């Protein structure tokens, strides 16, 4: 039977959003969210415009500041936004760019051959979501400025004093009506600024903050300038590792209007640490540029190894795994029209990029190996050692798989699975301990929630990356692999995962934090696409149960507990229970506070900065002690919730 349209539904019910109104109605469509990440994205959007000027060769300095009143200023010494009248809009170029979606110099290919912000929405979206914005342009011998409120001009473009300088300065204050909580993660901000500095050699980035969050420890002042660009980044990645060749290999070349940069330096470790970028945008899912890089690396090292007689004719070639073990590398491409795809739109899809990157990397690396025979021999020795270790590990791994029937066809006995078979509707709780596992099994909604209890602390996989057989020999890790059903390591396939929410639920104490860290290390090193896909979460069980009479409330942090205590201060008989273990909760309490989708609080695990994340896992979880000791000494005074 055909469904009837609602009575009175006419054209007058169709709303047409004018100008930037759409941005304020649906801000998430343009900046992802209106939480802290979206707030910081405003800064990145304005910075991207300055970086585009740098990539075009017109800017070598960007100053970013956050004052005590929350005003953000981004100033560059580029060409300055045009202020002459636009032929289509009849308004100045400045007003057109700041008030019109999809207006910019990045579409026709004339002003920018290469751009990081390709949507043309950066300046206008920031303007729409700001309670105040001022744009100042220095060009053609004069200073021009215009002010706006929530995207609408409050003045005309004003020409003021004469100047010999050039550039654009954007000052804005995010609108509290759009961003209910205006707080910044300064570690994330400075990591992003530093990454931009690495990817644009010769560009100076200065950041200062007087915002109230930073005043406790003094104002923030950071300057990033890297004359060797991504070669500096590779050195930084390897700073706590023993390197194979003293200086990184670096090569750059532009071919068919695609600029390619690559830097390579091997270390004595076992992990592959390769970062790929397209137009300064991190591409953690890789893409055609990474494929081209890997193909060139394997082919060139094999050719060099055979040409120099390091392996005999009847011996097998080195595989991609062999030449990537202990590799620290960065490949960066800059092109006119990047096409992104993948789960999170961070995978480069341009087909022509693969061949160009492969050609450039092969040319540069061949020259390097021939000109540096001592370094070449060290690299080959490293790769041959990896080959021998891989072959031995494969035999041991196959033995473990056969012994434990780890083929994905059988589920672990301790898994309490759910009835739902659609992964998008299914959840897996990885729970610390049999006691908490029992409570979780009784408290869950078995229609869509599965429970996998783990016994004790799992293996620290960071220390046995070269020995996958040891990883698979660990019973609790085998249980996780079997429960997820998507393989692990090089064979991991996110499309086969059985649950789209994997939730780590551990006790709120030091042991629980340690177990959570070990599980995160395993997922990061052996199932990283799972994190990029947004499948991994951390449960947030309450720390306190506060009861006054029949009124029961839960507090998830100290601040919430203090608020509840103050609320009940004048009722007698307040009872406060501190939860240290999940097993201390009754099943119904665990459901109500931690597992009920309508009331629970969870943290989604994201990799905001792949470079910094990789460095943290290497520093804190590897066998090398000195960097970990330095880290502990540097952060000892800021430790919270220390159990002694």
Place of tokens 């301990």: 433
Spot the catalytic one: 67, 272, 509, 584: 509
Dihedral angle computed from the Cα positions of residues 579, 582, 583 and 588, in that order, rounded to the nearest 10 degrees: 90
Q: How far apart are CA 37 and CA 119, in angstroms?
A: 19
Spot the catalytic one: 140, 185, 303, 511: 511
Beta carbons of 288 and 342 less than 8 angstroms apart: no
Beta carbons of 502 and 486 less than 8 angstroms apart: no
Q: How are the residues of the chain apportioned to helix, strand and coil, as percentages rounded to the nearest 5?
A: 40, 20, 40
**509 catalytically annotated:** yes
* 32: alpha, beta or left? (left if phi > 0; alpha if psi -120 to 50): left
Q: How far apart are CA 67 and CA 597, in angstroms?
A: 39
The residues pairing with 261 across neighbouring beta strands, listed in sequence order, are 252, 332
Q: How far apart are CA 371 and CA 367, in angstroms?
A: 6
147: its two tokens: 């002010």
Q: How far apart are CA 130 and CA 146, in angstroms?
A: 14
Beta carbons of 206 and 64 less than 8 angstroms apart: yes
Spot the catalytic one: 45, 261, 427, 507: 507
Rg, the chain, Cα only: 28
Give SS3 for 73.
Answer: strand
**For residue 285, what is the enclosing H or E element?**
none
**432 catalytically annotated:** yes
* Nearest C-alpha neighbor of 195 from the set 283, 298, 80, 65: 283
Q: How far apart are CA 261 and CA 278, in angstroms?
A: 10
Spot the catalytic one: 261, 358, 432, 614: 432
| Catalytically active residues, by annotation | 432, 507, 509, 511
């Amino acid at each position: 039977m055909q469904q009837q349209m609602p009575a009175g539904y006419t054209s007058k019910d169709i709303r047409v959003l004018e100008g930037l109104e759409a941005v304020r109605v649906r801000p998430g469509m343009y900046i992802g969210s209106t939480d802290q990440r979206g707030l910081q994205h405003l800064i990145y959007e304005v910075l991207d415009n300055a970086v585009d000027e740098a990539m075009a060769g017109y800017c070598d300095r960007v100053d970013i500041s956050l004052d005590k009143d929350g005003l953000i200023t981004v100033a560059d010494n580029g060409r300055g936004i045009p202020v002459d009248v636009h032929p289509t809009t009849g308004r100045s170029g400045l007003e057109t760019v700041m008030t019109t979606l999809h207006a910019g110099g990045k579409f026709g290919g004339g002003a920018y051959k290469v751009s990081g912000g390709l949507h043309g929405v950066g300046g206008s979206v920031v303007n729409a979501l700001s309670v105040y914005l001022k744009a100042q342009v220095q060009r053609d011998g004069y200073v021009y400025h215009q002010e706006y409120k929530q995207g609408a001009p409050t003045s005309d473009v004003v020409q003021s004093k004469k100047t010999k300088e050039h550039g654009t300065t954007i000052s804005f204050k995010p609108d509290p009506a759009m961003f209910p909580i205006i707080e910044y993660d300064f570690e994330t901000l400075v990591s992003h600024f530093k990454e931009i500095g690495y990817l644009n050699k010769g560009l100076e980035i200065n950041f200062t903050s007087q915002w109230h969050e930073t005043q406790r420890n003094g104002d923030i002042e950071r300057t990033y300038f890297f004359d060797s660009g991504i070669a500096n980044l590779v050195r930084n990645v390897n700073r706590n590792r023993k390197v194979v060749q003293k200086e990184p290999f670096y090569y750059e070349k532009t071919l068919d209007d695609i600029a390619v940069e690559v830097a390579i330096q091997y270390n004595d470790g076992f992990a592959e640490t390769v970062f790929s970028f397209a137009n300064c945008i991190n591409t953690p899912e890789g893409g055609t540029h990474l494929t081209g890089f890997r193909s060139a690396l394997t082919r060139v090292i094999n050719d060099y190894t055979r040409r120099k007689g390091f392996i005999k004719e009847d011996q097998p070639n080195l595989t991609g795994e062999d030449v990537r073990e202990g590799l620290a590398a960065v490949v960066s491409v800059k092109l006119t029209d990047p096409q992104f795809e993948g789960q999170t739109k961070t995978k480069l899809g341009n087909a022509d990029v693969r061949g160009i990157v492969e050609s450039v990397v092969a040319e540069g690396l061949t020259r390097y190996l021939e000109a540096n025979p001592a370094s070449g021999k060290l690299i080959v020795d490293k790769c041959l050692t990896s080959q021998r270790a891989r072959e031995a590990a494969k035999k041991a791994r196959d033995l473990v798989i056969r012994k434990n029937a780890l083929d994905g066809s059988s589920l672990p006995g301790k898994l309490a699975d759910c009835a739902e078979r659609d992964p998008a509707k299914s959840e897996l709780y990885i729970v610390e301990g049999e006691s908490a596992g029992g409570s979780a099994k009784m408290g869950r909604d078995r229609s869509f929630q599965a429970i996998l209890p783990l016994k004790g602390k799992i293996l620290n996989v960071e220390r046995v990356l070269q020995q996958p057989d040891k990883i698979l020999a660990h019973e609790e890790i085998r249980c996780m692999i079997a429960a997820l059903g998507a393989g692990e390591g090089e064979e991991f396939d996110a499309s086969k995962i059985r649950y789209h929410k994997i939730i780590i639920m551990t006790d709120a104490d030091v042991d629980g934090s340690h177990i959570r860290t070990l599980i995160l290390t395993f997922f990061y090193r052996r199932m990283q696409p799972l994190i990029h896909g947004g499948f991994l979460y951390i449960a947030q069980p309450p720390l306190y149960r506060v009861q006054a009479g029949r009124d029961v409330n839960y507090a998830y942090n100290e601040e919430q507990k203090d608020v509840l205590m103050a609320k009940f201060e004048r009722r007698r008989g307040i009872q406060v229970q501190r939860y240290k273990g999940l097993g201390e909760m009754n099943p119904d309490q665990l459901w109500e506070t931690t597992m009920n989708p309508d009331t629970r609080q969870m943290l989604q695990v994201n990799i905001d900065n792949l470079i910094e994340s990789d460095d943290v896992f290497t520093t804190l979880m590897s066998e090398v002690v000195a960097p970990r000791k330095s880290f502990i000494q540097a952060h000892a005074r800021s430790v919270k919730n220390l159990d002694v």
